[in-house]
Chain A
Amino acid sequence: MFNNYQKLWFELGIITIIFMVAVLGEWLRLVQPATSFFEHMLQPAIVKTSGLMINSNQPFILFKKSFNSARRVQELEQEYSQSLAKISEVEYLEQENQELRRLLHAQEKTTLPVIVAPVISYGQPSISAGQTDGVKIGQPVLVAEMLVGLIKSTSTHQSTVDLLFQNTTSPILVKTESGVEGLVMGNGRDILLTEIPKEAEISIDELIVTVGQKQIRPQLVIGRIQQLIDQPSSPIRQAIIHQEISFYEALIVEVLP
């Protein structure tokens, strides 16, 4: 009935008509409720699939980590003993703080609720929580209390995450344990601490925490300084930050509202 050329034009015509209907539907906001409904229906399956994939990947992660596990255990033991000393100090300060609050009749500090969400994509980091859960662009994403990224875009039930090493547009204001301030940005491969004054004293293994800015609370841990980059011709110094935790090994993340 039709030759190939006619078939091609007929099929192109159908594609164009459906495309125009879809554009009109999007413009009139008729498509969004449908995709939102499908997103909601598919959410358990997406979470299950990503869970299965990360679990099947665990043996490879453990195998990779086992190469330097002995040295890592030693480091962790050392950090553990240091942490114990800090905990007792913090407990003492907490008691003191509570006493002072009682004396001042101050109200207990209220903590904001966090949004807990499963990871659903590692290719393009995404989580299974969206606008309906209260997720907004720019909110910090945490894995085991460590800041790993910021929310990049949201849909009704999903959000994409810009990991710190990918974050080239939204610098985060941070400070080191010794009080040196700088900005954290990514270069596509590493997390960099930049804009450090030349004369500032910073050292390897120093802890980096946020200072606090719009949408990002203060005292969120980012990582430790791994390497210092000091170029003689540059007026500032840079450092590479190492994170103990990776988004790619996490099943669940927290989003701070």
Chain B
Amino acid sequence: MINLGRWLIKLALIVLVSLFERVMGFPVVVMMLTSLYAARLDQGWRWGLLLAVGVLTSTLFMTPLSITWLVIGLNYIWAKHAQQLLPSRVMRLIIGSLVGSVVLVIFSYGQIYLRQLVYGLIAIFICIIWFKRYRFHLK
């Protein structure tokens, strides 16, 4: 019971960010939040969240569900399990989300524009400040 409320709050936050990022056309913060939250949930809730975000992103960004799922899933695995390749979790989140977003945008629209990358970099900069400020168990 305790998890359902927290899970719904997390999902609601991701939905709000997704709607904003749909307008910007680059889902970098959604990818980052999904990996971050999924890593901190129990097994059942984790896959539920990943699947819900997969369906949401696929719907909003007009991408095939299978590709969206693969990108979100691999991004989560990279952020959680690639300590030996890249020890900093912030860097793993940033790199994974950026690469994942670029893949999704290219699958969706066939190309990517500079303004989207600029938005992505600004969003990442703001996220880093946010992460540092609230210390989300980041190493």
Residues of A whose CB lies within 8 Å of any CB of B are: 4, 7-8, 11-12, 14-15, 18-19, 22-23, 25-26, 31, 34-35, 38-39, 42, 45-46, 49-50, 53, 120-124, 126, 152-153, 155, 158, 160
Contact = CB atoms under 8 A, between A and B. Distances in A.
A42 B62 contact: no
Given A42-B60, A160-B62, A160-B109, A123 B19 contact: no
Interface string B107-139: 011000101100100000000000000000000
A152 B63 CA distance: 14
B86 interface: no
Contacts of A39: 59
B64 A26 contact: yes
Contacts of B59: 35, 38-39, 42
Contacts of B60: 42, 46
Contacts of B20: 49, 53
Contacts of A121: 22-25
A124 B109 contact: yes
A23 B55 CA distance: 13
Given A8-B81, A46-B60, A123 B113 contact: yes
22 contacts: A8-B77, A11-B80, A12-B77, A18-B47, A18-B69, A34-B55, A35-B58, A35-B59, A38-B55, A38-B56, A46-B60, A49-B20, A53-B20, A53-B23, A121-B23, A121-B24, A122-B25, A123-B24, A123-B116, A152-B109, A155-B62, A160-B62
Given A14-B47, A39-B59, A123 B69 contact: no
Interface string B21-48: 0111110000000000000000000010
A15 B116 contact: no
Contacts of B80: 11
A160 B19 CA distance: 16
Interface residues of B, number: 33
A123 B23 contact: yes
Nearest to B19: A49
Contact of B65 (A15, A26, A46, A120): A26
Given A15-B73, A15-B77, A35-B55, A124 B65 contact: no
A14 B56 CA distance: 19
Given A14-B47, A34-B55, A35-B55, A23 B116 contact: no
B105 interface: yes
Given A39-B59, A123-B115, A50 B66 contact: no
Q: Which 7 interchain pairs have the tightest Cβ spacing? A: A123-B25, A15-B73, A22-B66, A124-B25, A38-B59, A49-B19, A123-B24
A19 B105 contact: no
A19 B69 contact: yes
Contacts of A26: 64-66
Interface core residue of A22, A120, A153 (most chain B CB under 10 Å): A22
A124 B105 contact: yes
Contacts of A7: 81
A239 B81 CA distance: 54
B77 A11 contact: yes
B51 interface: yes
Given A19-B66, A26-B66, A122 B23 contact: yes
B65 A25 contact: yes
Interface in B45-85: 47, 51, 55-56, 58-60, 62, 64-66, 69-70, 73-74, 76-77, 80-81
A19 B66 CA distance: 5
Nearest to B20: A49
A158 B62 contact: yes
Nearest to A31: B65
